[in-house]
Chains A and B, each alone.
Chain A
Amino acid sequence: MPFFRHPRSPIPFLVILCLFVTRPALADGGPLQTSADISWVVIAAALVFFMQAGFALLENGMARSKNAINVIMKNYADMSFGALAFWLVGFGVMFGANPSGWLGTDHFATGVHDGRDAAFLLFQIMFAATAATIVSGAVAERMRFLPYVLVSILITTLIYSVFGSWAWGGWFGGEGWLARMGFVDFAGSTVVHSVGAWCALAAVIVIGPRLGRFSSSGAAREIPGHNLPNVALGAFILWLGWFGFNAGSTLTASPDIGPIALNTHMAAASAFVGALIFQSLTRRTTVMTTTVNAAIGGLVAITAGCASIDLPFAVLTGFVAGILVCLGQDLMARLRLDDVVGAIPVHGFCGVWGTLAAGLFHRDGLFDPDRILIQLIGIWVCFVWTFGISFILFWVMDRLIGLRADSLHEQRGLDITEHYEVGYPEFHSDLTHRGKS
């Protein structure tokens, strides 16, 4: 075991860290009590994992062929580095004992002793990776790979976990201060999706648009993705995975899963229809990428209120989300923000709308002003924290190590410059680099 014995090896340190900070098991009580609960949550975690495949296909398809590999590598990095980082640090920050309501204080690098612990940790790891991977689509085609990995680690260990501790914290005791106020975000319209989107917004501002994306007069130039069937298939996979994302958040194999899954599906369908109708009424071209994005926007929007609003309002929530995606993409172009896959309108704007809708249409009291106010506070706090801290961190990283790929790499494509591979080696006519020679 030479690596283990190497004087600079980090493994002894990690082992000691685990011994000191690990608590034996999750607290008793609450969900995940039966074998059926655990089985359901593990299946749901697998569905959420499958969403990464959806993100990979969608983002890869929206990028140009010379960056296809790089996009997928970033998705894999989100899942892999994100899993380790969240287990080591993020899980404790988010779900550790939280007496102050501001931060978890234990269960770092937690040991897992039974199926209940394992299922919960696994499910939460998938959520953390989802938040991180939202960024990769927005910054595709011009962000370097290794700095991206660092960004992904920062999101899962710090940015996502801290806000998560406010809204969802207290699994091992205590309660997050936003949760204590009554903030409703069942499966993470804000906690997962808006956090990812505001990080993406900060990153997009810091690294700037792709070469030539906007003319000097400010007009946006379309940069079509290289594989739109991939985009459509990726969106279908995301839609499928969302059943695990929302219905799995019950953490119990209970009858509640039925209406949650139904709300989820109907909101997505309604968002697709909403976007189509909006594009038709405003005499826009019915663009597949926008319409498919709208369906995902519907899924994001219903995530907060899928367990607490009735079906007609779920449909309404999705419908509005579909329109928001169309308008949001226009806004991004007008602001000269280059979001390659439309992650910010889909996950950010629809996350905000969905969280607000969860307050507006709550079945315990429609349009309750107190609940709406709490929802608005949660939305605002999420934006201020997430965008603020991520902008500062990314700005500093950009100055210190450089987030943006060199323009020559942008010309050649990040596939060859970062990974020394090309996605489609048989299509030489599209090559913009000198190959491997």
Chain B
Amino acid sequence: MANTMSATQRREAVRLALSEALEPEDARSALRLWDSGFADSPSINIIAFVAETAGLIDLSTKQRHDLRRALYHFLLKSGTQADSSSVSDPVPPAAPDREPETPAPTQTRPSWVVFVCMVTNILAGVHMEGSDAMQEFSHSLRQRKKKVRVSEPLDRAFVAWSAGQVRIEALETATDADLARLFHAVYVATAEAIGPVEADRLLTRCINEAESLPEARLYPPRNFL
């Protein structure tokens, strides 16, 4: 989840999330972990951070769930307040200094939050499979664009995003139906990159993750399926 937030803003968002989800002592330990291993990274890999935190302070499944939800919540909130854009992908194809092609809306839609959460987690999952998988994913996504039936500007934005030229916010103007189409393209690319069995497992995990978001009550992740 790399974005336009400053490192200080990101740290503050993470601190708030840790404070909400964990006991004070555990939150301090986790924040030290953040400072030592994640703060300098250009991307925010929530899954990896939660996994390492869980290993450090022995979190239950429910606690991990709560922590992930809190991190999403505070990072999205912080990002939106900072520059009217919320989040982007953890394995960013984006050029860091480039602005999104399309203006981001001032208020984050639940469907968008859920979409970003799911895509973010899928990208993280593909990334964990290695660089070959990531290359294949990007290649497949670029191939797939020809079959995604969305408006011309959105298509251009999708092409640019899949080529790593803009961040995911470029897609934020998409309607919910368009987001579903884009999400399917991401799923197909994932299946091509890591195989359909792993893709289905990853998809199921991502749905479970996204269902823990408060926004999921307003826009269930399964609407994208």
Write the residues of chain A forming the contact surface with B, with a CB cutoff of 8 angstroms. Answer: 64, 210-213, 215-216, 221-224, 407-408, 411-412, 429-435
Contact = CB atoms under 8 A, between A and B. Distances in A.
Contacts of B225: 411-412, 431-434
B182 to A, nearest CB: 12
A434 B213 CA distance: 18
A221 B204 contact: no
Nearest to A413: B200
Contacts of A224: 197
7 contacts: A212-B192, A407-B184, A411-B187, A412-B225, A430-B204, A433-B225, A434-B222
Nearest to B199: A212
A217 to B, nearest CB: 8
Interface in B179-194: 184, 187-188, 191-194
Contacts of A434: 222-223, 225
Given A215-B136, A411-B184, A429 B197 contact: no
B151 to A, nearest CB: 19
Nearest to B147: A407
Contacts, number: 59
B14 interface: no
Given A224-B197, A432-B200, A432-B203, A212 B191 contact: yes
B139 A408 contact: no
A434 B219 CA distance: 12
Contacts of B192: 211-212, 215-216
B184 A432 contact: no
B24 interface: no
Contacts of B191: 211-212, 411
A211 B197 CA distance: 10
A435 B222 contact: yes
Given A430-B200, A433-B225, A212 B184 contact: no
B122 to A, nearest CB: 13
A430 B147 CA distance: 26
B105 interface: no
Nearest to A407: B188
A434 B114 CA distance: 15
Given A215-B136, A224-B197, A429 B204 contact: yes
Describe A's contact surface by its main secondary structure: loop
Contact of A221 (B196, B222, B223): B196
Contacts of A215: 136, 192, 195
Contacts of A64: 196-197, 200
Nearest to B224: A434
A407 B189 CA distance: 11
Contact of A211 (B139, B196, B208, B222): B196
Contacts of A429: 204, 208
Interface in B32-69: none
A216 B136 contact: yes
B165 to A, nearest CB: 22
Given A223-B195, A432-B225, 19 more contacts: A211-B191, A211-B199, A212-B193, A212-B196, A213-B195, A216-B139, A221-B195, A222-B197, A407-B184, A407-B188, A411-B187, A411-B188, A411-B225, A429-B204, A429-B208, A431-B225, A432-B200, A434-B223, A435-B222
Interface in B109-155: 136, 139, 147
A351 to B, nearest CB: 30
Contacts of A435: 222
A315 B215 CA distance: 65
- Residue among B187, B188, B197, B200 having the largest count of chain A Cβ atoms under 10 Å: B200
A223 B188 contact: no
Contacts of B195: 212-213, 215, 221, 223
B13 to A, nearest CB: 30
B131 to A, nearest CB: 13
A405 to B, nearest CB: 13
A211 B193 CA distance: 10
Nearest to B223: A434
A343 to B, nearest CB: 20
A64 B203 CA distance: 15
B196 A223 contact: yes
A433 B204 CA distance: 10
Contacts of B222: 431, 433-435
A249 B192 CA distance: 46
- Residue among A213, A223, A411, A434 having the largest count of chain B Cβ atoms under 10 Å: A411
B108 to A, nearest CB: 22
Contact of B197 (A216, A221, A411, A431): A221
Contacts of A412: 225
Contacts of B200: 64, 430, 432
A414 to B, nearest CB: 13
Interface string B196-225: 110110011000100000000000001101
